[in-house]
C-alpha cells in the first residue's frame, strides 16, 4: 500500500464501498469527492495498476462493461492502512 498514489488508494476505497462497480460508477464517485472531472486516461490506467498489483480483480459484465472487486489482499491492505491511520488520528 505504501507504493500507491493517493488517487490509487482512493480507488481502492471506492471499489471496496460499492458492489462490483463498473468504471463509470467509480468515476462518478471520485468526481463527487474531488469536485472535478476525472478523465478516463487517468482512471483506467490506475485501475489496471491495482489489478496488476493483485489488489483488485477485474471481471467482465458484458462485452463493453467491466466490473471491479477487491481481492483478499486488497481488503487486507485497506484494513492495515486503517489500523496505521488510527495510530495517528483516532476520532
Look up the pTM and report it. 0.91
Q: Which three cell numbers stand for residue 36?
A: 472535478
**Residue 54: strand, helix, or coil:** coil
Q: Are 42 and 26 in contact (CB under 8 A)?
A: no
The answer to whether 12 and 79 are in contact (CB under 8 A) is: no
| pLDDT value for 2 | 86
- Which cell numbers in the block locate residue 4? 500507491
Please name each of the domains of the chain with its CATH number. Answer: 6-88 (1.10.10.10)
In tens digits, the chain (91 residues) has pLDDT values of 889 999 999 999 999 999 999 999 999 999 999 999 999 999 999 999 999 999 999 999 998 899 999 999 999 999 999 999 999 997 7
Residue 22 contacts by C-beta under 8 Å, 6 or more apart in sequence?
61, 65, 66, 67, 68
- Give the separation between CA 23 and CA 15, rounded to whole angstroms: 10
Amino acid at each position: 500500500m505504501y507504493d500507491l498514489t493517493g488517487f490509487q488508494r482512493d480507488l481502492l476505497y471506492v471499489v471496496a464501498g460499492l458492489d462490483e462497480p463498473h468504471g463509470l460508477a467509480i468515476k462518478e464517485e471520485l468526481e463527487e469527492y474531488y469536485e472535478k472531472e476525472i478523465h478516463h486516461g487517468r482512471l483506467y490506467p490506475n485501475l489496471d495498476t491495482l489489478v496488476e498489483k493483485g489488489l483488485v480483480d477485474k471481471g467482465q459484465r458484458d462485452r463493453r462493461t467491466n466490473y471491479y472487486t477487491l481481492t483478499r489482499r486488497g481488503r487486507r491492505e485497506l484494513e492495515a492502512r486503517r489500523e496505521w491511520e488510527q495510530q495517528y488520528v483516532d476520532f
